[in-house]
Structure 1
Amino acid sequence: MNTYPTITIDLILDRHTVKDVLRAILDAILFHRLFGTIKPITREVLGVTMPGVSDPEMEQLVEDKVDLFWKGIEGGMSKRGQIVVTFSEKRPKKSWFQVYVGEEDVPWEQWIINAEMQQPRDRDRQQFDTALSNTLTKAIHTMLTHTSSDRGRTAVPLITNAATISPFPIRVSVKVGGVEIG
């Protein structure tokens, strides 16, 4: 069992909103968990203003993972998938005899975005968009609540390198139908 916080966000998306919503959610997570000097941006998705980070490397990471998710959903039989964002710290790795043998990534927080694709009928579009908008608002509230809570603050390890936008390794994995892709 992992001892680090795991935060789950459940989304029901459609073909028209999947990329925008996933980009906005990933951007918002990074906004709340990057500790270097960032240039903030906002995204407007279904009437909800979402925070983000203006950084070419992070923007490319988000774009690549959203595209990978989209291709996995479009090309596969499963219409459910996950994007998992794991924040880690580098720690010295020791062997059995307490001999230093390099470094290992030790997770300190994980965000799981569960996404399911549905296609609403035209007459249900307004209700679907309203429900998704409410889900986005709830997701932002979850991010704010967690990152400002005692548990969310104490999960962050000591920052020893402030030279980059993220002093910690970030791993973003995409799973479709329970199988990691990419």
Structure 2
Amino acid sequence: MSNDDARFRTAELADIPALVPLIESAYRGESSRAGWTTEADLLEGRRTDAESVAAVITRDGSMMLVVEREDRIVACCQLEHRGGTAYFGMFSVRPELQGAGLGRTVLARAETFAREVWGVGEMEMTVIVQRADLIAWYERRGFTRTGEYSPFPYGNDRVGTPLRDDLRFERLTKKL
């Protein structure tokens, strides 16, 4: 299957039962190990929940972009309008489809949307600093490490159970 057959649209609340397991499969548990974006060695438990996804879909200035193939959601990302910046998060591609260019296509579409629809000049995200492979992937796509760090929310069951005590996030940015 090529990336040309991917259909992009904005998520609706009815998509939540498909989105939550997609996001989980890309990051957590054994199924995530089929792809390269797994966090299974860093965190156990849930990556998100239906309430968090619903908040992204319904909050003003926020959206979830979904990608469908053959009427099945295969990728998604969160975009949030923050003044002159767009926040990029919850980026997920089905593990068995990772490494074939779909992620690059989703990121490019998200950047185009943020620039052309919201008129923002920068995209930002946070990445767990221990994810050197993922940070390198974003750097190859023009993102820059800022050296700005934020703590991992230890004790918040909504983001999983850490397997290490040194987790933290780094802010990455890209001029659009």
Please, what TM-score do these two structures have when normalized by structure 1?
A: 0.31
Which has the bigger relative contact order, CA under 8 A and spacing at least 6? 1
Structure with greater Cα Rg: 1
